[in-house]
């Protein structure tokens, strides 16, 4: 269904460029913190999110300069912090090419890269009618930016109509103290404010304002796109939103200490097996703020300490299953990180004092009083995931038994031209999968769960020895099963799962995986 009933509380603003059309080239500053404070929520998992910490800092006043800063890096993983001031729009955002990027006109493109921070500074960073697109990337921080009026139809268009959109194997993104807004719904040309799809995991949205939109955001683009999740939403203000605050299709979300005002049709929409932990939020002047809506594929929730102030609830029928008028938990959700809850009664005040761009980056420590974030010390190099066992070079003796990869399917991230994921599970050493850069991820998946205790990674001729550091991940839960270096046989405690990932985190040349074999014993 199309939902376009957003109340027009704020008129569309003009572009109002703060810098000359051509601008000046970004200039390098000494290495600095990637952002103020440290990541929270699920962005702290899977090795953590540090963005460009420890790398060079560059100032940019145009979108083209943002792209140039990415492209001028030595590689797609060289850490960098881009400090942005001024108005970024279509007129000053052009495609740039180079070793550290893959960019496009009319959108801020973070594609197949890692270790980047984009931080608004000075008078502020306004992305006017131009979206931020994160695709196939990891370890990204976006802080203190204002993104408004991004359209998928009409003129100009950008990023499929999403203010911030993520897709295709994205990992570890922290968006903090942002303001994301539209001026209407789909009929006015807008889509979502904060969308995640196609295998996006370990994301946190904190201290941000999302307003005046038909769609707040989603996790999963359809009922079959269920490989997303592990997303935290905390201390955000959702205001004048029709629906999707957020929409969850599969996966796990932790939603705490948010202030919801004027959710016009529905709010947190948990469906298709999704699980939402809904903690100490304040819902005000809204309708159907939690439930399963517009589908018969049920989702679930665990509720704790929320306040429902002037919330109305529809009757349950068919594909409309609100959780109220007296919401109760329908599942339990385990949260792997530490967090401190503000009392729900003070959420409107603490969110008003902290959320949004250009508000001073204040945070809460659970005392309902705005605080300055703890200072952080930048590392000299991007961190790697702490190993669950000491890194080892795998032996070459293969396991016995049936190769479970034969007859399975495969996917991943960063596929290079001329290769395919299936080439790594076809039993042939003459075909191979290769990532588009020096790192990437390939996965084997089954229709029904399999128990796996070892894998074999075989490199193609001409690329033997190229694979450096790696980790094996239970895709279902995000747990790291093993870390090490070099190809060969890798063993770990027997694990039952639907999908297993082999993530290459460093290499001495472009990796070529001829076979990704999996075994039960």
User: Of 244, 441, 458, 512, which is the active-site residue?
Assistant: 244
3-state secondary structure 113-151: CEEEEEEEEEEEEEEECCCEEEECCEEEEEECEEEECCE
Beta bridge partners of 445: 409, 499
Residues 242 and 244: their CA atoms lie apart, in Å, by 7
Cβ atoms within 10 Å, residue 56: 18
The tokens describing 120, both together, are 């608004």
SS3 for 103? coil
Residues 323 and 341: their CA atoms lie apart, in Å, by 22
Residues 495, 452: contact at Cβ < 8 Å?
Answer: yes
Rg (CA), the chain: 23
SS3 for 348? helix
Question: Number of H helices and number of E strands within the chain?
Answer: 2, 34
The tokens describing 410, both together, are 């495969």
Strands 440-459 and 513-519: antiparallel
Cα→Cα distances 384→183, 203, 389, 506, Å: 41, 17, 14, 10
Residues 86, 419: contact at Cβ < 8 Å?
Answer: no
**DSSP one-letter code for 224:** T
Residues 206 and 183: their CA atoms lie apart, in Å, by 22
Among 486, 458, 453, CA closest to 471:
486
Residues 381 and 220: their CA atoms lie apart, in Å, by 32
SS3 for 388? coil
Question: What are the b/e assignments for 308-318, b being 16+ CB within 10 Å?
Answer: beebebbeeee
* DSSP assignments along 309-366, one per residue: EEEE-PPPBTTEEE--SS---SS-----S---PPPGGGHHHHHHHH-STTS---EE-S
Q: What are phi and psi of 483, to 5 degrees?
A: -125, 160
**DSSP one-letter code for 430:** T
Residues 82 and 104: their CA atoms lie apart, in Å, by 18
Catalytic site residue 244?
Answer: yes
Catalytic residues: 244
């Amino acid at each position: 269904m199309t939902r376009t009933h957003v109340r027009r509380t704020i008129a569309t603003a003009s572009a109002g460029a703060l810098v000359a059309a051509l601008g000046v080239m970004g200039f390098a500053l000494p290495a600095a913190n990637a952002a103020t404070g440290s990541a929270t929520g699920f962005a702290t998992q899977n090795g953590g999110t540090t963005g460009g910490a420890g790398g060079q800092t560059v100032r940019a006043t145009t979108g083209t300069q943002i792209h140039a800063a990415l492209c001028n890096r030595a590689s797609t993983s060289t850490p960098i912090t881009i400090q942005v001031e001024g108005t970024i729009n279509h007129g000053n955002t052009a495609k740039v090419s180079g070793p550290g990027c893959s960019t496009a006109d009319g959108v801020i493109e973070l594609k197949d890269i890692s270790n980047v921070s984009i931080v608004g500074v000075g008078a502020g960073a306004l992305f006017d009618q131009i979206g931020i697109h994160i695709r196939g990337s990891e370890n990204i921080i976006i802080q203190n930016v204002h993104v408004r009026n991004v359209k998928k139809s009409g003129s100009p268009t950008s990023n499929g109509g999403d203010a911030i959109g993520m897709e295709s194997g994205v990992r570890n993104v922290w968006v903090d103290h942002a303001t994301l807004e539209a001026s209407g719904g789909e009929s006015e040309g807008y889509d979502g404010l904060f969308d995640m799809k196609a295998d996006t995991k370990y994301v946190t949205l904190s201290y941000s304002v999302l307003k005046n939109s038909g769609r707040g955001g989603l996790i999963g683009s359809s009922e079959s796109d269920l490989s997303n999740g592990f997303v935290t939403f905390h201390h955000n203000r959702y205001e004048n939103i029709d629906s999707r605050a957020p929409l969850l299709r599969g996966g796990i979300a932790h939603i705490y200490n948010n202030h919801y005002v004027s959710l016009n049709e529905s709010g947190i929409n948990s469906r298709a097996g999704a699980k939402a932990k809904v903690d100490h939020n304040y819902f005000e002047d809204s309708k159907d703020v939690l439930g399963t809506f517009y589908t018969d594929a049920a989702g679930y929730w665990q509720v704790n300490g929320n306040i429902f102030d002037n919330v109305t609830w529809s009757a349950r029928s068919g594909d409309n299953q609100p959780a109220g008028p007296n919401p109760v938990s329908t599942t339990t959700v385990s949260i792997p990180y530490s967090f401190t809850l503000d009392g729900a009664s003070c959420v409107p005040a603490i969110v008003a004092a902290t959320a949004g761009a250009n508000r001073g980056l204040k945070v809460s420590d659970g005392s309902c009083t705005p605080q300055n974030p703890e200072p952080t010390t930048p590392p000299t190099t991007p961190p790697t995931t702490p190993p669950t066992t000491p890194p080892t070079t795998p032996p070459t003796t293969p396991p016995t038994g049936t190769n479970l990869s034969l007859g399975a399917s495969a996917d991943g991230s960063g596929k290079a031209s001329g290769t395919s994921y299936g080439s790594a599970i076809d039993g042939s050493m003459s075909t191979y999968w290769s990532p588009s850069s020096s790192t990437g991820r390939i996965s084997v998946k089954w229709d029904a769960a399999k128990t796996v205790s070892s894998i074999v990674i075989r490199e193609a001729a001409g690329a033997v020895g190229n694979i450096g550091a790696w980790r094996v991940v239970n895709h279902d839960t995000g747990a790291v099963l093993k870390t090490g270096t070099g190809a060969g046989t890798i063993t770990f405690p027997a694990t039952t799962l639907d999908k297993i990932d082999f993530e290459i985190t460093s290499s001495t040349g472009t990796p070529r995986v001829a076979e990704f074999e999996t075994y039960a014993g």
